[in-house]
């Protein structure tokens, strides 16, 4: 798998796409030696290639609405940072175009929904990399810190509210994209953030659509899915049921992560701890792939007294 800095250093050294295809064939013959050499050379090349990438990002003609780009974090398949968009601090993400669905991302850029991240810009950095610029949102810790200063939330009520808003908000987000013929394919705890509406109210927001695909498309299955968020049946992966199943895993992980009585996932005691017993049956059906559409889940939740 090509890391971002490796791809960029190869492009800057004059290697084109044909070279990359040759590399892939050669990798099968010399994978062991290549991995050893690559690990030794990685630290030496990182600073140079990242500096070059930083310069290219700064040189992008994103228009007068964008300024003050700051690189903050390097991951294996992406580079993250902040940028000013219309005088508002926003996030950017650089990804390998091999993993991106350009047509889906262009469609997502047009969507404005309270539970879906606003994408301001999506386009190429060069022949191999794309940049996504999106609104800046709150992570879980930032949200909890804000809510703790509000006297309306006491004890477990903050986590309870986060769990319920995450469940219902993400269901609405999935309903929106499914209606447009898109499946997210990468719903996870880390791909949900939050937007403040008022000083005491917020929306859960679904982010990161770089792995999304069209429903019933013929494109190859995405390889970098997360095992613990993915149904075992390969025929269900990358479908509506996959998204619903993954959201059930998100809720179970949140309940376990913030529990003061039990850290074990799927423990029934969590529904009692957070006073959300009515949704336990719904969660069981989501995990068992009993729902074919998000609207069925929402109908069940609406009928509950939570």
pLDDT tens for residues 17-67? Answer: 444 444 444 545 554 554 555 555 555 455 566 666 666 676 776 777 777
Q: What confidence tier does 16 reach under pLDDT thresholds 50, 70, 90?
A: very low
pLDDT digits (tens, 9 = 90+) for 216-264: 766 655 555 678 899 989 888 889 999 999 999 999 999 999 998 888 8
Span 65-81, average pLDDT: 77
Span 101-128, average pLDDT: 88
Query: What is the structure's pLDDT at 1?
Result: 44
**Rounded-to-integer distance, Cα 24 and Cα 40, Å:** 20
131 vs 11, more confident? 131
Query: What is the structure's pLDDT at 225?
Result: 66
Average pLDDT, the chain: 81
**Rounded-to-integer distance, Cα 17 and Cα 54, Å:** 22
Domains and CATH numbers, the chain: 1-136 (3.30.200.20), 140-302 (1.10.510.10)
Query: What is the structure's pLDDT at 24?
Result: 46
Q: What confidence tier does 91 reach under pLDDT thresholds 50, 70, 90?
A: very high
Query: What is the structure's pLDDT at 156?
Result: 80
Per-residue pLDDT at 190 exceeds 80: yes
Helix (H, G, I), strand (E, B) or coil at 82: strand
Residue 34 makes CB contacts below 8 A (sequence gap 6+) with 26, 27
CB 229 within 8 A of CB 218: no
Query: What is the structure's pLDDT at 35?
Result: 54
Buried b / exposed e along 286-306 (16+ C-beta atoms within 10 A): bbebebeebeebbebbeeeee
Query: What is the structure's pLDDT at 14?
Result: 46
Structure-token match 């109210």, residue found: 201
| Prediction pTM value | 0.81
Span 187-203, average pLDDT: 95
């Amino acid at each position: 798998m090509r890391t971002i800095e490796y791809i960029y250093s190869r492009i800057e050294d004059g290697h084109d796409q044909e070279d990359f295809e040759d590399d892939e064939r050669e990798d099968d013959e010399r994978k062991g030696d290549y991995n050893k050499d690559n690990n030794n050379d990685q630290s030496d090349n990182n600073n140079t290639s990242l500096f070059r990438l930083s310069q290219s990002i700064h040189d992008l003609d994103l228009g007068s609405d964008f300024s003050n780009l700051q690189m903050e974090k390097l991951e294996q398949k992406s580079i993250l940072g902040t940028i000013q968009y219309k005088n508002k601090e926003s996030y950017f993400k650089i990804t390998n175009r091999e993993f991106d669905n350009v047509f889906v991302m262009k469609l997502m850029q047009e969507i404005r929904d309270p539970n879906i991240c606003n994408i301001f810009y999506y386009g190429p950095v060069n022949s191999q990399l794309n940049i996504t610029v999106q609104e800046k949102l709150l992570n879980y810790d930032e949200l909890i810190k804000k809510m703790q200063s509000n006297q309306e939330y006491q004890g477990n009520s903050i986590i309870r509210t986060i769990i319920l808003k995450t469940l219902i908000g993400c269901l609405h987000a999935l309903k929106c994209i499914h209606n447009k013929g898109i499946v997210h394919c990468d719903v996870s705890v880390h791909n949900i953030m939050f937007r403040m509406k008022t000083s005491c109210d917020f929306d859960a927001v679904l982010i990161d659509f770089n792995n999304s695909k069209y429903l019933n498309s013929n494109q190859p299955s995405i390889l970098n899915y997360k095992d613990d968020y993915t149904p075992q049946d390969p025929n269900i992966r990358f479908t509506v049921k996959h998204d619903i199943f993954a959201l059930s895993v998100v809720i179970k992980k949140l309940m376990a992560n913030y529990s003061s009585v039990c850290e074990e996932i799927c423990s029934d005691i969590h529904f009692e701890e957070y006073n959300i017993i009515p949704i336990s049956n719904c969660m069981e059906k989501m995990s068992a792939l009993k729902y074919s559409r998000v609207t069925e889940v929402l109908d069940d939740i609406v009928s509950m007294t939570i």
